[in-house]
Amino acid sequence: MIKLQRTIKKSASYSGVGLHTGNQTTIIFKPAPIGHGIVFMRTDLPGSPEIPADIAHVIDITRGTTLKKGEAKVYTVEHVLAALAGLQLDNLQVELDSSEPPVGDGSALPFVETILKAGTEKQDSPKNYLEIETPLFYSEKDKGIDLVVVPSDDLRITFMVDYRNPALGTQYTSLVSLEKEFVEEFAPARTFCFFHELEELYKEGLAKGGSLHNALVICDEDNCKTKIGRLKEMYGVREEVFVGKTGILNDVPLRFPNEPCRHKALDLLGDLYLLGVPLKGHVLAARSGHAANVALVRKLREQYEKEQITTRYQKKATGDYLLDINAILEIMPHRFPFLLVDRVVDIKPRKSVVAIKNVTMNEPFFSGHFPGHPIMPGVLIVEAMAQAGGILLLNTVDDPENRLVYFMGIDGVRFRKPVLPGDQIRFELEMIQFRRGTCKMQGKAYVEGDLVCEATLMATIVDR
């Protein structure tokens, strides 16, 4: 069944205080057209700059997820994005008159209720998905963090935490259906922190808008009672604060027995929406936080961009490579006898490319280089390397068919071994620098694992 893109029916707003900045702020959700995506707008800044909610604009994950474009920033976006992801919305303009959304009660529920009150509607265009076909892994063994994404017809999240704290212990949760479970079972799960973190947050100038009304505080120190007075003074709290029987300050009742774990799953859901498209996959997470979530999304985004390249150019299903010669012919302007790349094995967009050149005796240059002792000219090895780099560079623009790659400089060229008929050259190029359409790449060429050539290439993209 084809699912259509969705947006909000009419503008809706919610006001409150930012969790870390303490600023009074209003968030306004506005309808957006097909293909717009989720875009934040800072209406309090000159020109009302926009910041797309995608992984390319994540600049900090210390105490939440922060986005930046130019000089404009938006802090702690994960609860807003979790609400949008849970309601399966694709296109919204999200306006803010400060640098951070309101924290509300510390969950995604205030945003969910605001949007549902305004209503949502389908748009006349199908959703784009990243569908996981082979398992993808991310781990930080030293921290015991593991994330695995396996194939699934829909998004599912399974989350496990172990805080070694009597008030929390080991917790587990599983989100199977956004439609049936998100609004009532996950959106209300509130953020939390440990008692020992309060002083650290204060010293960092954070949690200025935090309170026992928008966060659960877990006692994890034996001397919590003796420190409460000092922390109340630091945060300017006048209400009574006490260490209760449950291990949570003021014995604030949990909404779910595993509410902290559900909130971690909620954070993960919000961070996953930085992918820019909804995910079809089952995410299994152990002890993950924002840093690991974002690292996983970067890997997922890389996979999605590869699929976009293949879908755009590759007419038939591929095996263990990305693009065949027919796809390369659509990207590159070169033709016989000067097209010197036969296959693209892999591309990591804006990062690296791996390509293959099969060298045969039928190459026209062998008749003169050299008769009786055929050797591929070194200059053509470098040219083939440059063409592989051109494929990488052209896939950084929206209309590669209308662009050309001009090479501006080649430095540090070294030829290590001759290349002969029958050899297969494997080119591996890594993008070192990319600014304003100009790129610097480090390239290496291998035959059967042996380095035969290396060079540093500089190139620019121009209109065809």
Q: What is the CATH number of the domain that holds 189?
A: 3.30.1700.10
* 117 shares a domain with 201: no
Cβ–Cβ < 8 Å for 303, 136: yes
Per-residue pLDDT reduced to its tens digit, 286-329? 999 999 999 999 999 988 988 888 888 877 656 678 999 999 99
Angle, CA of 346, 351 and 356, to the nearest 5°: 30
What is the predicted pLDDT for the residue at 79? 97
Tell whether 191 and 228 lie within a shared domain: yes
Concerning whether 20 is annotated as a catalytic residue, the answer is no
In angstroms, what CA-CA distances link 1 with 125, 126, 127, 154, 406? 13, 10, 11, 12, 45
| Residue 418 and residue 280 share a domain | no
pLDDT of residue 73: 95
Q: Is the pLDDT of residue 330 over 80?
A: yes
Instruction: Give the pLDDT confidence score for residue 7 in this predicted structure.
Output: 98
Question: Are residue 35 and residue 92 in the same domain, yes or no?
Answer: yes
Query: Among 124, 148, 163, which residue terminates a domain?
Result: 124
Residues facing residue 429 across a β-bridge:
353, 443
377 and 432 belong to one structural domain:
yes
Q: Is 87 exposed, middle or buried (0-12, 13-18, 19+ CB in 10 A)?
A: buried
Per-residue pLDDT for 231 more than 60?
A: yes
Could you tell me if 381 and 423 lie in one domain? yes
* Phi and psi, residue 116, nearest 5°: -65, -35
Q: Could you tell me if 294 and 369 lie in one domain? A: no
Could you tell me the residue range of the domain that residue 337 belongs to? 315-463
Same domain, 142 and 262: yes
Return the H-helix or E-strand segment holding 379: helix 378-394
Query: CB-hemisphere CA count at 13 Å for 94?
Result: 29
Same domain, 99 and 144: no
Nearby residues of 261 by Cβ (< 8 Å), 6 or more positions away: 159, 160, 161, 171, 172, 173
pTM: predicted TM-score of the whole model, two decimal places? 0.84
Number of structural domains (the chain) is: 3
Once rounded to an integer, what is the mean pLDDT over residues 266-270?
97
pLDDT, mean of residues 250-275: 95
196 labelled catalytic = no
Same domain, 279 and 374: no
Residue 38 has pLDDT above 70, yes or no: yes
Of all residues in the chain, what percent carry a pLDDT higher than 90? 72
CATH of the domain at 60: 3.30.230.20
Residues 120 and 135 in one domain: no
Mean pLDDT, rounded, for 261-268: 96
72-74 β-sheet, strand order: 58-60, 66-69, 72-74
8-state DSSP, 449: T
Q: What is the pLDDT of residues 363-404, one digit of tens each?
A: 999 999 999 999 999 999 999 999 999 999 988 887 777 888
Where among 240, 275, 310 does a domain terminate? 310
| pLDDT higher than 90, residue 62 | no
Q: Indicate if 88 and 30 belong to the same structural domain.
A: yes
Mean pLDDT of the chain: 92
Single out the catalytic residue among 196, 263, 290, 373: 290
Decide which of 272, 290, 310 is a domain's last residue: 310
User: What is the per-residue pLDDT for 177?
Assistant: 96
